[in-house]
Amino acid sequence: MSSNLFDLSGKVAIITGCNTGLGQGMALGLACAGCHIVGVNRRSADETQKRVEAQGVKFLSLQTELGNTAAFSSIIQQAEEHFGNIDILINNAGTIRRENALEFTEKDWDDVIDVNLKSVFFLSQAFARACITKKRRGKIINIASMLSFQGGIRVPSYTASKSGVLGLTRLLANEWASRGINVNAIAPGYMATNNTEALRNDPERSREILARIPAGEWGTPDDIAGAAIFLASDASNYVQGHTLAVDGGWLAR
């Protein structure tokens, strides 16, 4: 047994959507554990890069639209050419559209499903193929949601996508555990990020949400880092197909 099960020194993690919010928090957490980071974002991740590199590890920035699956093989190839190996994939990038189900448009459905679910599967597929070809162990961490367990309101495509992430995590674990690839997910609770800005700015909804959280406060990106380190490290080698809620007790209430 390793003397430090949570040590990620020399490991390389691809993290989508790490320019802000939860993705940035996980990138910094893994960097503090010694992991190099490949950041895949729609826009610049300069702030994340500076903060990651301040931990003494390397950061490779790649920019692409995650709705375009044609770019996924290139992401894996560029990461491997730069670092020589890839050990971890965190499918964090996500988007949301809010509207009553009766008025919800096909475009808002497709835009969310393409990023939140379709990209998770096909980037995981590209990562797993690389791991299996090179006969190396891999860790995949998907980012689910409280709405993987609950219905929510006014976010039909988001709820569908995050319910899909939970199921997909189980399916991929079933298929890939025997190939040395761990597939798990983290379900963040109500976090202070861009996606929840509308809720936090609505006094009534914010009060309702906080009243149900036993911890009594919104989570922060820092709160997710420990779970990401655990699922990326040797400490979780026998954890497969699990979705870990980091929710301040929301689901226990």
Mean per-residue pLDDT over the chain, rounded: 96
DSSP-derived letter for residue 209 is H
- To the query of whether residue 158 is one of the catalytic residues in this protein, the response is yes
Q: What are phi and psi of 3, to 5 degrees?
A: -70, -20
Measured in whole angstroms, the distance separating CA 136 from the mean position of its chain's CA atoms is 21
Report pLDDT digits (tens) over 37-75: 999 999 999 999 999 999 999 999 999 999 889 999 999
Report pLDDT digits (tens) over 68-110: 899 999 999 999 999 999 999 999 999 999 999 999 999 999 9
Cβ(218)–Cβ(162) under 8 Å? no
- 236's tokens: 């979780």
Report pLDDT digits (tens) over 111-158: 999 999 999 999 999 999 999 999 999 999 999 999 999 999 999 999
pLDDT band at 249 (very low <50, low <70, confident <90, very high): very high
Nearest one of 166, 184, 172 to 251, comparing CA atoms: 166
In this prediction, residue 195 carries a pLDDT of 77
pLDDT band at 207 (very low <50, low <70, confident <90, very high): very high
Selecting among 59, 72, 83, 158, the annotated active-site residue is 158
Q: Is the pLDDT of residue 218 over 70?
A: yes
Which CATH fold topology does 12-191+221-246 show?
Rossmann fold (3.40.50)
In this prediction, residue 3 carries a pLDDT of 66
In this prediction, residue 177 carries a pLDDT of 98
Report pLDDT digits (tens) over 146-184: 999 999 999 999 999 999 999 999 999 999 999 999 999
Predicted structure pTM score:
0.96
In this prediction, residue 194 carries a pLDDT of 82
User: Residue ranges of the domains in the chain?
Assistant: 12-191+221-246
DSSP-derived letter for residue 200 is H
